[in-house]
Structure 1
């Protein structure tokens, strides 16, 4: 199979875009990676199914959303609707791209296709007690359906619930997280839209969130209505933070919904949690990875069996296999400068 790579480029040669391609065989491992023409700092990508093309954010020069082709490079570009886009999501019908702009704390709605166009942007509002929470910092969007999505706001300790209506973004609700947690990324329970797990970047936590009847009037839902509630919080660093900065990174869930995997930078670990029938978590395993595991994700076509771990500061991408949910080393490792996305 062919995997694509994304990453930062500020410390790389000028002829490197940060976008690359590599063949991977689950039996023999990685081939030789090839750099592709593209934008600077493509830190997050979305591949177009059945093609070698894709969409990406470019964090350089303010921020942009681009369509990329492996031979032609950038074939279309649009403003991301803010500064410092850190994540890109494609709607299930392929109509919309949503850029989460970390620096500006805004969300951009881009019409997808051969020609990209920014059609709306929504500014999130809020702050928190941590020194990095001076204002909203949008970090990830996840679609609940064709027109509903959740956006992690690291700066405001909120997950905003948005709706796309007539080509515009509208906030319709929010999930309130513990103060100072800094929600970075979330993962939905497979086949459900009422259960999710949110990682707190700033306090090394995972929050179990359920949507239930009888929401409170404190931002989690109207009283007597439907609301999101945090029902459990667990740590990703049971032995304490690592030396220096320690922050969570990525989160993924197994296809059967029985295990959740979370990376933590600083301790340089991936934690494996068992999930019970209520969605609650119990730590089963922690493995040590390369330095600064910013991204984790399944090898396409091997979801639940092969986990990719991109260690940004190590400059490596490693593959781990699973055995009844627990991780085992495969020995397959790829050197790639500052990787932040693989898929």
Structure 2
């Protein structure tokens, strides 16, 4: 049986999900048997799910509660909390786990924070420790200036600053990706930034920022097997490709429209996913509710839009490529669709199956 954990929005976030759910279908017969099998946790709005690379542990971003929680798989289709929810940041919307299973990075849309957590040997979240030296100074000399801004919590990255200095804009961290050289890339949708970090001590140290054109809104990313970083933009409906120079400095090397007929202000790209062989990328356009396919050119440094197809859902919040097919989560239609993909051209071939599911926002394959 093919099975997936399903994250979604609960009533507090205008959805109907009761917690992490299960989507399952018979192996080889998903097109006719894929169905929602019910919730396995009572968790408020687990809007993004991420897996530990080697343990049967799932991490959920509790977006409405500004927290992250770990769950251990304790049965065929059972998850048990691995500790209490850990406070993170306002509107935490994305989680990324390091390949060695030692670090989790959370991106917070509401306050723009990028937060690093250590992971214990059993996958449990380890809350960041406060600065012992700062605590000692406070104990000896008092709390300092009462009007001063609060200290940045341990584990947080440096707060973003708008490179354009424009009024009325706010930082909105949206996604993170671990890079082959051990650094972490994050997007800031509000400030049009792709930021690069080094892991140092218990926290993050900002290494570099790449500024995208004003108003593009970088959202999600894919690390290509070639080492290139592809970034989809929510506001300008583009995919930017970044590459690292010999000295490790990143820069934009190309950009392409998600689709030649995407409408800025009507379409809002969400997720970006790649085919297993890295030949194609797929992004979903919320608004027209379509899936755009792009071919990867050269050694990964350029993209070419090749196809656009109906996603079969309303507001395609998340999608993934799985065994040559595309699964699409429709946040507003309460459905998940399965689309066939043309192996040669990469084009979506139309909706094969639709399953009812409560406000789905994240699909994660079970081990």
TM-score, normalised by the number of residues in structure 2: 0.80
- Which residue of structure 2 aligns with residue 45 of structure 1? 49
* 1:2-151 correspondence runs (5 A): 2-10=3-11, 11-12=14-15, 16-25=17-26, 27-29=28-30, 30-48=34-52, 53-61=57-65, 63-69=66-72, 71=78, 73-113=80-120, 114=122, 115-119=124-128, 120-127=155-162, 134-145=169-180, 147-151=182-186
How far residue 234 of structure 1 moved from its aligned partner, in angstroms, is 1.9
Unaligned runs of 5+ in 1: 214-224
Separation in 2, partners of 1:118, 1:147 = 21
- Which residue of structure 2 aligns with residue 235 of structure 1? 257
Q: Which has the higher contact order (CA 8 A, sep 6+)?
A: 2
- Which residue of structure 2 aligns with residue 297 of structure 1? 320
- Which residue of structure 2 aligns with residue 273 of structure 1? 294
How far residue 69 of structure 1 moved from its aligned partner, in angstroms, is 4.1
Please say which of residues 49-58 and 136-145 is displaced more in the overlay.
Answer: 49-58
Please say which of residues 317-326 and 51-60 is displaced more in the overlay.
Answer: 51-60
- Which residue of structure 2 aligns with residue 222 of structure 1? none
Q: Which has the higher helix share?
A: 2
Q: Which has the higher strand share?
A: 1
- Which residue of structure 2 aligns with residue 333 of structure 1? 354
Match of 1:179 among 199, 202, 214: 214
> Equivalent residue of 1:60, what SS?
helix
Separation in 2, partners of 1:240, 1:128 = 27
> Equivalent residue of 2:263, what SS?
coil
Separation in 2, partners of 1:130, 1:206 = 24
The one-character-per-residue Cα deviations of 1:96-122 (angstroms, maximum 9, x if unpaired) are: 111101111011111223442232112
Separation in 1, partners of 2:35, 2:353 = 10
* Aligned-residue CA RMSD (Å): 2.5
Q: Larger radius of gyration, structure 1 or 2?
A: 2
- Which residue of structure 2 aligns with residue 196 of structure 1? 229
**Residue 265 to residue 72, structure 1, CA distance change in 2 (3 Å):** closer
- Which residue of structure 2 aligns with residue 217 of structure 1? none
Confirm or deny that 1:211 pairs with 2:218: no
Unaligned runs of 5+ in 2: 129-154
How far residue 326 of structure 1 moved from its aligned partner, in angstroms, is 1.9
Length, aligned pairs only: 322
